[in-house]
Chains A and B, each alone.
Chain A
Amino acid sequence: MIIKLLLTANFALIWLYAFTQRRRVHFVTSVMSLLAAAAIYLVWRPDDATELAGLVGVGRGTDLLLYCWVVLSLGVALSLHIKLEQQNELITELARQFALAGALDPEAPGGRFTLRLPGEAPELARADGHVQPGEDQR
């Protein structure tokens, strides 16, 4: 009994998550919602699961549930990947704007502003042609 309750809670949370994300990635969340709801139903009516399993050519109800769970997980992974890529695009755009705004011109000593990375010495700001003694010229 406790397993059924835990599983139900688990799938209910998944269904809830899918529901909250429905606007962002429509297709995947719809599929997830459907599968989560079906999973909850089958947890409480395992004989239906076995019957359904027999219909689709799978041995046991629990096996069917397992397969559905795998598909669901792959869908989530794909969705996450897409979101990660979108986030990367945002970061790229930000970094690009930084780079473009801080362009360092060899003819304009001092430049507009210089981008100093953490722990870096400020020599880069000196675009005035002065080479420090010992500085490599390669």
Chain B
Amino acid sequence: MRQSSEGAHAVTDGPAPHPGRDPVRDPARNAGVWIVIAAYEEQGAIGAVVRGLRPDHPNIVVVDDGSRDATARRALLAGATVLRHPVNLGQGAALQTGIAHALAQGAQAVATFDADGQHDPADLERMLGMLRDGGLDVVLGSRFLGRAVGIGRLRRLVLRLAVLFTTLTTGVRLTDAHNGLRVFSREGARRLAIRHNRMGHASEIVETIGRHRLRFAEAPVTITYTDYSRAKGQKLSNAFNIVGEIIMGKIRK
């Protein structure tokens, strides 16, 4: 999609966005909502992801976790605030940085959203509605209540085992223990203090919910696995690393 001049736009993408000037449809409705996207080497998808959210959300922060590609630039051009880690720390650390920024900006609700295009903005709107209507602290997305398009059988099994492991270690019963689509109220977000820099953060979040007895609900969401996201996504063998990380974290306490 090469541009020959400013103002020209790719047929599939719609009008070329200018930073900060993308029209937000109803700025008042989601004025207090901040979306946090952790991204590492995600130049292929981050622009589209941010542009998919921009029409309904004035506050998007992309945390570039030390990428060497054009992730930060494309996120910025798509209209997101960009924070850059000087070194790669991991998704957990990136989310915590983004959440800290959102809270400092006065966010009343904070959502986490994946950078690789696996998530559906419509699910996010529904979850925000649940958060508001139910007066909840946390709403967690669940692909097993919803849909997991293109998931492999092995991945499904590993995720089910993750649910079992999380239930046993945190006391919180979920149907999907490792979903990046979450929304928090300000109170819920303030309780988060993610110390697991890498992928152990998902279990850490659930543990925080259990420990502080936060009011939570699960929402059905659609996770779409594409060749792109599958190639970039987590190796299933990483599950062992995560378990090890969590156990070591408990010993350290």
Give chain A interface residues in 81-124, CB to chain B under 8 Å.
Answer: 81-82, 85, 88-89, 91-92, 95-96, 98-100, 102-107, 115, 117, 120, 123-124
Task: Check A137 against B9 for contact (C-beta < 8 Å).
Answer: yes
Return the chain A residue nearest B20 by Cβ: A107
Q: Does A57 contact B (CB under 8 A)?
A: no
- Residue B195 lies at the interface, judged by CB distance under 8 Å to chain A: yes
Interface size class of B (residues with CB under 8 A): 35 or more
Contact B48 A99 (CB under 8 A): no
Within 8 A of A (CB), among B179-203: 195, 197
Contact A95 B16 (CB under 8 A): no
Shortest CB-to-CB span from A60 to chain B, Å, is 33
A23 at the interface (CB under 8 A from B): no
Q: With a CB–CB cut-off of 8 A, which chain B residues contact A135?
A: 3
A27–B6 alpha-carbon span in the complex (Å): 65
Find the residue from B2, B86, B93 having the highest chain A CB count within 10 A.
B86
Residues of chain A in range 5-49 having any CB-CB distance to chain B below 8 Å: none
Given A106-B81, A133-B5, also A81-B44 (CB < 8 A) = no
**A82-B84 contact in complex given A103-B101, A117-B68, A124-B72, C-beta closer than 8 Å:** no
B250 / chain A contacts, CB cutoff of 8 Å? none
Q: Number of contacts between A and B (CB, 8 Å)? A: 110
- Which residue of the partner chain, among B77, B80, B96, contacts A96 with CB atoms under 8 Å? B96
Please give, as numbers and ranges, the residues of chain B lying within 8 Å of A137 by CB-CB distance: 1, 3, 9-10, 13, 16, 47, 77
Nearest chain A residue, comparing its CB with the CB of B6: A131
Which of chain B's residues 57-109 have a Cβ closer than 8 Å to chain A? 61, 63, 66, 68, 70, 72-74, 76-77, 79-87, 89, 93, 96-97, 100-101, 104
A115 & B101 in contact (Cβ 8 Å cutoff): no
Query: Which listed residue (B2, B19, B101) contacts A136, Cβ 8 A?
Result: B2
Q: Is there contact, CB below 8 Å, between A115 and B1?
A: no
Looking at the assembled complex, report how far the CB atom of A5 sits from the nearest CB atom of chain B, in whole angstroms: 38
| A interface SS class | loop
Q: Does B4 contact A (CB under 8 A)?
A: yes
* Interchain CB contact under 8 A, B252 and A85: yes
The answer, yes or no, to whether B29 is at the interface (CB within 8 Å) is: no
A82 to chain B, nearest CB (A): 6
Q: Which residues of B contact A127 (CB under 8 A)?
A: 19, 76
**B interface, CB within 8 angstroms of A:** 1-6, 9-10, 13, 16, 18-21, 43-44, 47-48, 61, 63, 66, 68, 70, 72-74, 76-77, 79-87, 89, 93, 96-97, 100-101, 104, 195, 197, 248, 252
Residues of A within 8 A of B (CB): 81-82, 85, 88-89, 91-92, 95-96, 98-100, 102-107, 115, 117, 120, 123-124, 127-131, 133-138
Listed A/B pairs (11) with beta-carbon separation below 8 Å:
A91-B87, A92-B93, A103-B81, A103-B83, A106-B79, A117-B66, A117-B68, A134-B3, A137-B3, A138-B43, A138-B47
